[in-house]
Amino acid sequence: MMPHHHAGDDLLIAYATGTLDEPVALVVATHLALCPLCRNEVVRLEELGGVLFDEQPDEALNESSFDALMARLDAPPTETATPSSCGAAAADSGDPRVPRPLRDYLGCHFEQLDWKSFGGLEEASLLPEAKGFRTRLMRIKSGTAMPAHTHKGSELTLVLAGGFSDDEGHYLRGDLAEAGPSVDHQPIADPGEDCICLAVTDAPLRLTGPLGRLLNPFLRI
């Protein structure tokens, strides 16, 4: 099934040029694994970038740039953090709901993640070392309405299974929802199947409505 909600042009261009922060790049890469249309667009952008690069005039490499390059080549390799809390020795995810780009970040079966329960919502955190971002898998019980909220920054939500609806539309597997400060919504999981999403935010959410405004000082999401 082809997704109906795609990554925006700015996201695809930044992904093709390798300028996205890791959490955002993870969401886009996982979307690309489920969306042939956006995947083909990234290939086109990469080819275009290659043509533009080839057309640039040659410039001499100054001595300081050469020394900096050699210093980077001589530097010892840095250790990479384990993407999830499962541990490096854990079994492969092996879950058909989890596309390969995301699977590489889990390191274990989907159900073995450190899920935290909040009523009808379960969360498992990813990439805790990525400062300034909150990256998490969310499993929303079918039919559950999330609190109405807006955003102090941006929010990317990619559906992996099930679906949800809000004032902006209906989102199913592979669909990518982009929300910012101008969006005030209340996602509701579809009936019949739990909604599983990969979500990345770069600032806290802000609950709306009378009760939400009372809870905002205590909110940590």
Query: What confidence tens digit (pLDDT) does each residue in 73-117 have?
Result: 455 543 444 455 564 434 455 688 899 999 989 978 888 899 999
Exposure of 130 by Cβ count < 10 A (0-12 exposed, 13-18 middle, 19+ buried)? middle
Report yes or no: 110 and 98 within 8 Å, Cβ to Cβ: yes
Q: Is the pLDDT of residue 193 over 80?
A: yes
Measured between alpha carbons, how far is 183 from 153 in angstroms, rounded to an integer? 10
Mean pLDDT confidence for 143-165:
94
Mean pLDDT confidence for 28-44:
97
Q: Between residues 206 and 86, which one has the greater pLDDT? A: 206
Measured between alpha carbons, how far is 24 from 120 in angstroms, rounded to an integer? 26
Mean pLDDT confidence for 142-155:
92
The third-level CATH classification (topology) of the domain covering 114-218 is Jelly Rolls (2.60.120)
Q: Edge to edge, what strands does the sheet with 155-161 contain?
A: 116-118, 121-126, 134-140, 195-201, 155-161, 176-179
Report yes or no: 28 and 20 within 8 Å, Cβ to Cβ: yes
Sign of CA dihedral 98, 116, 21, 73: negative
Among residues of the chain, what percentage have pLDDT more than 90? 57
Query: What confidence tens digit (pLDDT) does each residue in 4-14 have?
Result: 999 999 999 99
Mean pLDDT confidence for 52-70:
53
Report yes or no: 33 and 96 within 8 Å, Cβ to Cβ: no
Mean pLDDT confidence for 111-132:
93
Quickly state the pLDDT bin for 151 (edges 50, 70, 90): confident
Pick the range with the lowest mean pLDDT from 40-44, 94-98, 150-154, 179-183: 94-98
Pick the range with the lowest mean pLDDT from 34-48, 68-82, 141-155: 68-82
| Phi-psi sector, 174: left (phi>0), alpha (psi -120 to 50), beta | left
Using DSSP's 3-state secondary structure scheme, residue 62 falls into coil
Residue-level pLDDT at 217: 43
Report yes or no: 28 and 15 within 8 Å, Cβ to Cβ: yes
